[in-house]
Structure 1
Amino acid sequence: MIVISEFMDEEAIRSGLDGFEVLYDPSLVDRPDDLAVVIGQADALIVRNRTQVRGALLDAARNLKAVGRLGVGLDNIDVAACKARRIAVYPASGANDVSVAEYVIATAMLLLRGAYGASAEVASGAWPRNALIGREIAGKRLGLVGFGAIARETAKRAAALGMTIAAYDPYLPPSAEIWKQPWGPVEAQPLNALLAQADVVSLHVPLTDETHGLIDGNAIALMKKGALVINAARGGVVDEGAIAAALRAGHLGGAALDVFAEEPLTADHGSIFAGTPNLILTPHIAGVTAESNVRVSWVTVDNIRRHLTAA
């Protein structure tokens, strides 16, 4: 049996998993006791980022052979424990790169321009032109923290808009060919230099011991006045309280947070953002579009079908 505990494209389930017994219940992620019961019968489990595949759930998964991740981040999956149990883990690598890259560029343009929140005022007869004079993205410097596949898709779009691009990635030597992209070069920089020079800082790293709290108050203090921070990577990489404080103080010019240290964000934790200007908060949706949902679903279905058929 294949258990699917979070939402995915239903046509991919019907066509791609035809012939398998499938339990598709996107509400299982919010009913962990029920999930723990059915997982004992599962040969495969398909999840997004909220189902915690670790501890007691793995202990109950006596027959589990594979886990399909509808996305690329694996911080909700105990990969080492799965390996020890000979459970294969399949992320949907590459399937939502475009969606995240478009999110980063769109939110950067929105925050720089600052002209799109005045509909009610204009409709009421106000004409706040002077208050809405924003900034162009052309000529600005994009600083990418991490230079993996999604960062490269983001850089390609930024270059087309006339931005200059730098990136920090300690796992890529400055001599690596990857810095020489077809649409132009990307400057490899140390993190502090990147933060000091970038107009837009976008995060593209997993959550690890090394990246936890990477963009904290000290890092933000290095940034230019008016710089933007966009985190569509993983919650915990950015100190959310420090972002809110820097926005209120006027040091940062804007921020967009799609991921949070605690998800779903509770009203209590979310209160740290109350009254914060030039802030966009979205519910871990950067990588989820109608198109990417189809792509990640089919990549995952193909991975699971291939594994179970070969087993």
Structure 2
Amino acid sequence: MRGVFLDALTMKLEELDTTALKSCLEQWEFFQTTAPEQVAERIAGADVVITNKVVLERALIESADNLKLICVCATGTNNIDLEAAAERNIPVRNVQGYAGASVPQHALALILALATRLHQYDRDVKEGRWSASPVFCMLDYPVMELAGKNLGIIGYGDLGRRTAELGRALGMHVLVAESFSGEKKPGRIPMNQLLAEADVISLHCPLSPQTDKLVNREFLAAMKPGALLVNTARGGLVDEPALADALRSGHLGGAGLDVLSVEPPPADHPLLDADIPNLIITPHSAWISRESRQRLLNGVVANIKDVMATH
């Protein structure tokens, strides 16, 4: 049995215990990155293909004669032609739950940094403004005390629930938006009520036709003036030019993003302008703790062993 990992650089495998992975098949090839024009050659003859973000479209799946399993080294499977795989009876396995500690931690870090203006005060100190201050402290940016404030959660799966728990630990009141399925669930409130009352909104919903650009101009205008927005879910949830305008206008108090609609972003991305106030962008790094990546890799190994046991 031969396995191929198409974009191992996304996992930084040298930091992880790969013993179980390497021993579950007789032969492995690890490619740090794989360009679209390299995929067909690299998966030819492979029994198992692991991909994080490399796209496996219909023609590629149909050309891989030996393929018995596609492992997605992530939760999302949108980069795989699932219909083509199903037609050839090739299982597509993802991994869920691996970032249950890491992502909520990152969401909380963004909330805390925005509320305390940590990044702006740190920058000013390093640029010499504190040294030049006539008094012992700096009070240039307003700080939001989170205790007693409302934390709005949109998307109340595992990550949303865990982020809510962290908010409650800070003394915040948690508001949960109604489910996008339309199912009435106890304790949920309508979206318009959440937008009007939340001091901080954290996004944890999947990207779907229903949630694409959920955070549009109307959504932002309905938010409580001065509120903070955090997105550790999917970049496509946010209308990015609209967010830039809401921050520049001062209607929004700040935003923290770990995801953008295009990753890596082009240099002229609308949210990379230096004049946007109180905006923190991290490079899709909420999930990358070593512990999280090890759980993800362990999940991939479990998927391989499960499927290979039937062959």
TM-score using structure 1 length: 0.88
After superposition, the Cα gap between the structure-2 partners of 1:270 and 1:41, relative to the gap in structure 1 and judged at 3 Å, is: farther
C-alpha displacement at 1:296, in angstroms? Answer: 0.5
Instruction: Spell out the pairing of 1:65-144 with structure 2 (5 A cutoff).
Output: 65-119=68-122, 121-122=124-125, 124=128, 125-127=131-133, 129-144=138-153
Equivalence for 2:229: 229
8 Å contact kept, 1:66–1:87: yes
What CA distance in whole angstroms lies between the structure 2 residues aligned with 1:116 and 1:206? 28
Instruction: Spell out the pairing of 1:119-198 with structure 2 (5 A cutoff).
Output: 119=122, 121-122=124-125, 124=128, 125-127=131-133, 129-168=138-177, 169-171=179-181, 173-175=183-185, 187-198=187-198
Question: Which AA in structure 2 matches 1:155?
Answer: A
8 Å contact kept, 1:115–1:134: no
Question: Which AA in structure 2 matches 1:297?
Answer: L
8 Å contact kept, 1:115–1:132: no
Deviation by residue 1:91-120 (Cα, 9 ceiling, x = unmatched) = 211011211111111100100111343345
Equivalence for 1:51: 54
What CA distance in whole angstroms lies between the structure 1 residues aligned with 2:271 and 2:165? 36
C-alpha displacement at 1:219, in angstroms? Answer: 0.6
C-alpha displacement at 1:276, in angstroms? Answer: 0.8
Stretches of structure 1 that go unaligned for 5 or more consecutive residues are 177-186
Higher helix share: 1
SS at match of 1:15: helix
Is residue 47 of structure 2 the alignment partner of residue 62 of structure 1?
A: no
C-alpha displacement at 1:175, in angstroms? Answer: 4.1
Equivalence for 1:6: 7
Stretches of structure 2 that go unaligned for 5 or more consecutive residues are none
Moved over 6 A (4+): none
What CA distance in whole angstroms lies between the structure 2 residues aligned with 1:122 and 1:274? 18
What CA distance in whole angstroms lies between the structure 1 residues aligned with 2:235 and 2:287? 14
8 Å contact kept, 1:44–1:67: yes
Equivalence for 2:202: 202
SS at match of 2:175: strand
Equivalence for 1:40: 44
After superposition, the Cα gap between the structure-2 partners of 1:172 and 1:101, relative to the gap in structure 1 and judged at 3 Å, is: farther
Equivalence for 2:259: 259
Equivalence for 2:32: 26
After superposition, the Cα gap between the structure-2 partners of 1:236 and 1:121, relative to the gap in structure 1 and judged at 3 Å, is: closer
What CA distance in whole angstroms lies between the structure 2 residues aligned with 1:144 and 1:81? 36
What CA distance in whole angstroms lies between the structure 2 residues aligned with 1:175 and 1:219? 22
After superposition, the Cα gap between the structure-2 partners of 1:27 and 1:214, relative to the gap in structure 1 and judged at 3 Å, is: same
Is residue 16 of structure 2 the alignment partner of residue 15 of structure 1?
A: no
